[in-house]
Amino acid sequence: MTDSDSLIIACPNCHGLNRLPQARLKDAPHCGKCGATIFSGKPFELDTSNFDVHIARSQLPVLVDFWAPWCGPCRLMAPAFAQAAGQLEPQFHLAKVDTEAQPMLGQRFGIRSIPTLALFHNGQEIGRQSGALPLGEIVRFARTQFMNYVAGL
């Protein structure tokens, strides 16, 4: 196996970086640092201290839900976003940023309305969608945006 057959993926638990063979992503890999499951089938929280590890250093696409606890549409979309993690992993990681608790991240990315989904890959934002979406639309958004990015569209 060559390095091109593996990906660097950040652990959602300890935020340590792991080199994982692409062929084994569906085999429930565990973090070499903390032992936690790399793919839990649920979104994880990001903050200013760990955001860049997952967005810029991890080679897995990350779909981020920028939300706030007082936002009704955000709360309505939360169960669908959680279900989407089960459908999109291990090709994607899904994460949440509470813009009220992490205002610097909201400002950094120019989040003007919530909920806003932003898809990142290799440190770059490659897609954005504002407004609450049902499960199927969340999954479709992530897959379509990533395929367009890979195809250079």
pLDDT in tens, the chain (153 residues): 345 689 999 999 999 999 999 999 999 999 999 999 999 999 999 999 999 999 999 999 999 999 999 999 999 999 999 999 999 999 999 999 999 999 999 999 999 999 999 999 999 999 999 999 999 999 999 999 999 999 987
Contact criterion met (CB below 8 Å) for 9 and 16: no
Residue 105, domain member (yes or no) = yes
Residue 135, domain member (yes or no) = yes
User: How high is the pLDDT of residue 152?
Assistant: 87
Contact criterion met (CB below 8 Å) for 135 and 80: yes
11, 14, 34, 74: which one is catalytic? 74
Number of domains in the chain: 1
User: Integer distance in angstroms from the first to the last C-alpha of the chain?
Assistant: 30
User: How high is the pLDDT of residue 153?
Assistant: 76
User: How high is the pLDDT of residue 2?
Assistant: 46
Q: Is 71 a catalytic residue?
A: yes
User: How high is the pLDDT of residue 1?
Assistant: 39
Residue 119, domain member (yes or no) = yes
Q: Is the pTM of this model over 0.85?
A: yes
Residue 112, domain member (yes or no) = yes
Distance CA 27, CA 14 (A): 20
Domain containing residue 80: CATH number: 3.40.30.10
Q: What are phi and psi of 22, to 5 degrees?
A: -55, -35
